[in-house]
């Protein structure tokens, strides 16, 4: 009789292949099906949530009291509408003041 340990090893072997073939994928599907049928009460938690709801739109956080005029103006706005405006501003800044533009770009690259 096949044990849960044997199934886990077979699954790990299939998942560990660098370039899996169609045959490997079919074996993996079969191993998972067998595991789910033979050991239904021992299902592992899904690695990610399964849902179909769209993500909430990105928005700018509420500004702190006494924040800049800009932060107060954009508080609660949808970031997707703000980015094209900021892109246009950055294009202008690149021409008018390349040094400030380079500084802003450097700070943005440091965020990642």
| 3-state secondary structure string across the chain | CCCHHHHHHHHHHHHCCCCCCHHHHHHHHHHHHHHHHHCHHHCCCCCCCCCCCCCCCCECCCCCCCCCHHHHHHCCCEHHHHHHHHHHHHHHHHHHCHHHHHHHHHHHHHHC
List the chain domain ranges. 4-42, 69-111
Per-residue pLDDT at 48: 57
Res 28 pLDDT > 80: yes
Res 60 pLDDT > 70: no
Res 79 pLDDT > 70: yes
5 vs 47: CA distance, rounded Å: 20
């Amino acid at each position: 009789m096949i044990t849960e340990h044997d199934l886990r090893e077979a699954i790990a072997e299939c998942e560990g292949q660098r370039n899996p073939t169609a045959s490997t994928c079919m074996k993996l599907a079969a191993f998972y099906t067998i595991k789910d049928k033979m050991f239904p009460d021992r299902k592992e938690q899904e690695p990610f949530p399964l849902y179909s709801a769209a993500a909430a739109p990105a928005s700018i956080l509420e500004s702190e009291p006494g924040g800049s005029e800009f932060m107060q103006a954009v508080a609660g706005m949808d970031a997707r509408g703000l980015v094209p405006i900021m892109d246009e501003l950055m294009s202008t800044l690149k021409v008018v003041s390349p040094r400030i533009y380079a500084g802003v770009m450097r700070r943005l690259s440091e965020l990642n």
